[in-house]
Each structure stands twice: as C-alpha cells, then as structure tokens.
C-alpha cells in the first residue's frame, strides 16, 4: 500500500545518486542563517526551527550521511550562535536526529501528509527537550514557545518539495 | 569471506540507540559544566569565530531594510526630521551651557576635594558601542554589541544610555560582547531612592520589561514616581545614575513585604547605541564574615537553653 501513495513526492523517477556533501552543508548553513535573522517578539515565538527541520530532512533521507553525531555538532554551533548553554540545542537535535534515523524507513514510505504528521511528533519531542533543559536551568517554561513546533510542521511540506526539486534539478542537469 | 564483506558493508558503527545515549549524556555533561562552572568560555569564543560570518550575514537583511527605509524618506518624515533637528539644536545649546557650568563646577569640586585631601569619588570614561543583534532566545533579555575583547571590553563593565543604566557586560567574545539587560530575570542592581536615600535592590522580572523592588517592608517610604538611582554600594555601578521609576506600590498587610513595580528609565529595549563605562575604581575587598561572633551567640543561646 505505501508504494501506491509514494508517487506524490516521487513524481519523477528519482535517480538515487549520492547527494553532494557541499549541498548538505550549504542547506544546514542556510538554515543557521534563517534562524539567525533578527526575529522579534511574537515572530520569535512563531519562528520555525529551520536548522532542526533541515537536520531532520537529511536524517530521514540520508541517515548514513548526516546522522546523530553530525546533528549534535550542528547543535553545538546553534548553541554558540544563540548564546544558549552548551548542549541545549545539541541535546534537542540529538533526539530529533534519533527520531529521524530510527523512523527513516517508515517515513520514506509515507506520502507527504502522513510524513508531516509523524514529523510533528518528532519536532514536539525535540522542543520538549529544549523546554525541559530550560526548565531545569531557569525554573520556568514558556508554553508559547511550542508554537514554533507547529509552524515548523506547517513549513515541512514546503521544505521537502524545495529540497527535492533542487536535488532533481541537479540530477536532470547531468 | 563474502558473508563477512556484506556484514562489513552493513556494519555502520554503533546502533542509533547507542549513539543517542552517548551524545545525550555528553550534552547533559556539557550543560552541567557550562551552567555550573563556566569553564567553556574559551571554547565558545573559538567556535563563535566560525559562526560569526553567518550571524553577520543574517544581520544584513535588516540593515538593507533600514537603509532602503532611510532612502525613501517621505515628506511628512522629512518635516518631522526638520522639527526634530530644531529641537535637538536647542537642546544642544542648553546642554552646552550646562556643560560649561558643569566643567567649572567639576574644577571647583576637585579643588575643594584637594583641599580636604579626600580621594576622588568617581571619574569614569565611556565607550560608544552599537547593538549588533538582539538575543534570539525568547526567555532572555540580552543583546550583543559590536565591540569585544579587541575593543577593550571586559566582563562586569556597566552599560548605559544617555538616560540611565541599561545593563552589564556578561560575556566577551573577540569581536562581540554580550550585555545582560537589567530586565533579565533575577538580575539585581543596588539602588537608592533619590528622594530620601532609602537603600534597596531592584530585580528584573524576565518576561516583561518591568522591574521590581523586593524585600521592602510594608512601612517603607516609597511613593509612585519615585526615582531610583544607583547607590554605588557594591562597587560595580557608579553611584547616582538613574535606573528606574516606581509605577505602582501595593501594600497588602497579609504579606510582610510591599509589592513595588518599577519601569526602567533608560531605553532598555529601544536604542541602537549604548555607552560602556570603564575605569570605575574598584572598592577594596569586603572583610570576611565574622564567624566567631556567631559562635558566641550560639553558645549564649545554648547556655540560655540549658538554664
């Protein structure tokens, strides 16, 4: 059954060509850039976690290229960029990457809609880790912060389509 | 041979669970070390050199937006600019006159102090810095400014604007410094009420831009519109700089302390430019707590209990 619903994202036969390492790195850096834009007030609450989404995408699609270890390293960079405590983002992204790597067979079978529902769960888990660490350190939780998980999920299909289009274009060109 | 090869092919190191546990434990360890001991500041500043290009790039769109906004100044905006310019000119003249007065008074004061052979109370210089970006964590009241170790900024320096105290330098990177604003949760500033000299400590409340005076007895002489200025008692803040204004005082006899809410006077989350004060004379170290006295009291108490 999953094979029938699959064509929604894989409309064109995709050549499973190894993804360029530079492309993965560029996507992660772009995500760090987007996270670093000057978000303020309510927009900061609604800001999707671009880095988390991109990491989850690669963990799902190329779990052997970008896995838990690299996600952790990117998390350390995110901690430096956000001036948060060392390990806060790293822990959240480790959990996120674990979710992606463990479920990657299942998630690749799903169509975009089912995938998005699963991704929401994983994202909420990583946000919960972040909130938990914050609660342990500072002693309070801002629940509005979880709105970011919602917006991230809403942007997930868009991210998937964009990254897939770029990958296909690269295949077409050759 | 073949079977081992295929086994090798699929063997990609430890399983995800092992990796998860390893990295989670490592993260928690880092968290603990960073939160408790702050050993990792040098690592952080080294990594920040790698990240800072991306951060600077991320600040570009905002700068372009502002630049474009500056180009397309509308008619009304121009008018208001002219008006503002005029009022600033007038203010400048007034200030210049006052400055002259101040200079003469400073000279006079110095002479008097020399006469009385007193040490100079305070004489500090200031450095102008620009806010590079605001903190991207919802929970924090911090900004990063565009001077760091290279610009001779040190941890603990006081940051103010033209009106009053804004915050304190809490972290220094090679080209950036982090300012914790006075509205950060549990950030404390020793103050006194300028009307009657009552000493107090004003705390930030974190989630709003308010401040609160804690541990003030219900009977304390505080009124609305009282101005709080730094008392200079701890030696970090120079004395006499405005900090906040009291906006509401609730005295509920059910509680031992009054609830006093204040608003910061300085544009804590408004301006682009800030002043970093330097060369504030350090106070001598406070004497160690006198433990013997306490022991004596304890002994007396015990003696009383025995009797």
- Over 70: is that where the pLDDT of A46 sits? yes
Task: Kindly report the length of chain A.
Answer: 174
Confidence of residue A6 (pLDDT cuts 50, 70, 90): very low
Task: Residue A95: list chain B partners with CB under 8 A.
Answer: 20, 24
Residue of chain B minimizing CA distance to A65: B12
Q: What is residue A156's predicted lDDT score, i.e. its pLDDT?
A: 92
Contacts 24+ apart (CB under 8 A), B76-79: none
Between chains, do A83 and B142 touch, taking CB under 8 Å as contact?
yes
Q: Are B141 and B204 in contact (CB under 8 A)?
A: yes
Q: What is residue B10's predicted lDDT score, i.e. its pLDDT?
A: 55
pLDDT: is B82 or B117 the higher one?
A: B82
Structure tokens at A66: 């970008």
Q: What is residue B304's predicted lDDT score, i.e. its pLDDT?
A: 54
Kindly state the average pLDDT of the residues B206-218: 81
Q: Is A42 on the interface with B (CB under 8 A)?
A: no
- Over 50: is that where the pLDDT of A126 sits? yes
Q: What gap in Å lies between CA B40 and CA B30, rounded to an integer?
A: 9
- Least confident among A66-70, B187-191, B203-207, B244-248: B203-207
Confidence of residue B129 (pLDDT cuts 50, 70, 90): confident
Q: What is residue A146's predicted lDDT score, i.e. its pLDDT?
A: 87
Distance from CA of B46 to the nearest CA of A (A): 10
Q: Does domain B125-282 have CATH number 3.40.50.150?
A: no
Kindly state the average pLDDT of the residues A100-106: 88
CA distances (Å), origin A49, targets A96, A146, A159, B84, B303:
12, 11, 12, 41, 65
Domain ranges of chain B: 16-72, 77-120, 125-282
Q: Is A72 on the interface with B (CB under 8 A)?
A: yes
Kindly state the average pLDDT of the residues B239-252: 88
Q: Is A90 on the interface with B (CB under 8 A)?
A: yes
Q: What is the tens place of the pLDDT at every residue in B214-238?
A: 888 888 888 888 999 988 887 788 8
Q: What is the tens place of the pLDDT at every residue in B33-49?
A: 888 877 778 888 888 88
Residue with tokens 């389509």: A161
pLDDT: is B59 or B207 the higher one?
A: B59
Task: Residue A82: list chain B partners with CB under 8 A.
Answer: 135-137
The question of ipTM being above 0.85 is answered as no
Q: What is residue A14's predicted lDDT score, i.e. its pLDDT?
A: 53
Confidence of residue A157 (pLDDT cuts 50, 70, 90): very high
Q: What is the value of pTM for the model shown?
A: 0.59
Kindly state the average pLDDT of the residues B57-75: 79
All domains in chain A, ordered by first residue: 2-6+14-173 (1.10.1760)
Residues 6+ positions from B130 with CB-CB distance below 8 Å: B145, B146, B272, B273, B274
- Least confident among A25-29, A84-88, A152-156: A84-88
Q: What gap in Å lies between CA B223 and CA B204, rounded to an integer?
A: 19
Q: What is residue B1's predicted lDDT score, i.e. its pLDDT?
A: 37
Confidence of residue B187 (pLDDT cuts 50, 70, 90): confident
């Amino acid at each position: 059954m999953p094979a029938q619903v699959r064509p929604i994202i894989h409309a064109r036969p995709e050549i499973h060509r190894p993804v360029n390492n530079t492309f993965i790195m560029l996507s992660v850096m772009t995500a760090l850039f987007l996270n670093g834009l000057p978000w303020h007030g309510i927009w900061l609450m609604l800001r999707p976690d671009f880095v988390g989404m991109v990491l989850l995408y690669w963990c799902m699609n190329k779990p052997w290229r970008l896995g838990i270890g690299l996600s952790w390293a990117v998390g350390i960079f995110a901690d430096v960029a956000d001036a948060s405590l060392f390990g806060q983002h790293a822990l959240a992204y480790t959990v996120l990457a674990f979710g992606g790597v463990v479920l990657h067979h299942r998630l690749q079978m799903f169509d975009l809609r089912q995938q998005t529902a699963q991704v929401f769960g994983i994202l909420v888990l990583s946000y919960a880790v972040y909130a938990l660490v914050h609660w342990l350190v500072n002693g309070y939780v801002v629940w509005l912060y979880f709105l970011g998980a919602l917006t991230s999920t809403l942007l997930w299909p868009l991210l998937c389509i964009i990254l897939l289009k770029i990958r296909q274009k690269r295949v077409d060109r050759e | 041979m073949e079977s081992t090869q295929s086994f090798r092919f699929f063997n990609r190191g430890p399983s995800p669970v092992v990796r998860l546990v390893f990295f989670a434990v490592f993260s928690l360890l880092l968290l603990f070390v960073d939160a408790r001991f702050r050993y990792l500041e040098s690592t952080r500043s080294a990594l920040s050199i790698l990240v800072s290009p991306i951060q600077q790039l991320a600040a570009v769109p905002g700068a372009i937006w502002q630049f474009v906004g500056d180009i397309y100044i509308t008619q009304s905006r121009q008018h208001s600019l002219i008006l503002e310019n005029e009022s600033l000119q007038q203010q400048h003249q007034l200030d210049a006159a006052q400055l002259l007065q101040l200079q003469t008074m400073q000279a006079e004061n110095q002479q008097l102090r020399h006469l009385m052979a007193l040490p100079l109370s305070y004489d500090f210089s200031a450095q102008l810095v620009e806010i590079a970006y605001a903190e991207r964590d919802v929970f924090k009241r911090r900004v990063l400014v565009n001077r760091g170790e290279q610009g001779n900024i040190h941890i603990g320096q006081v940051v103010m604007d033209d009106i009053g105290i804004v915050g304190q330098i809490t972290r220094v990177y090679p080209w950036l410094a982090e300012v914790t604003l006075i509205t950060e949760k549990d950030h404390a500033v020793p103050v006194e009420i300028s009307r009657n000299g009552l000493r107090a400590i004003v705390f930030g409340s974190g989630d709003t831009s308010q401040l609160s005076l804690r541990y003030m007895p219900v009977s304390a002489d505080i009124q609305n519109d009282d101005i709080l200025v730094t008392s200079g008692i701890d030696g970090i803040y120079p004395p006499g700089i405005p900090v906040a204004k009291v906006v509401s005082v609730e005295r509920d006899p059910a509680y031992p302390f009054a609830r006093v809410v204040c608003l910061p006077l300085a544009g804590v989350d408004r301006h682009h430019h800030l002043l970093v004060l330097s060369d504030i004379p350090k106070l001598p170290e406070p004497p160690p707590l006198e433990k013997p006295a306490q022991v004596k009291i304890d002994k007396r108490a015990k003696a009383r209990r025995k009797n």
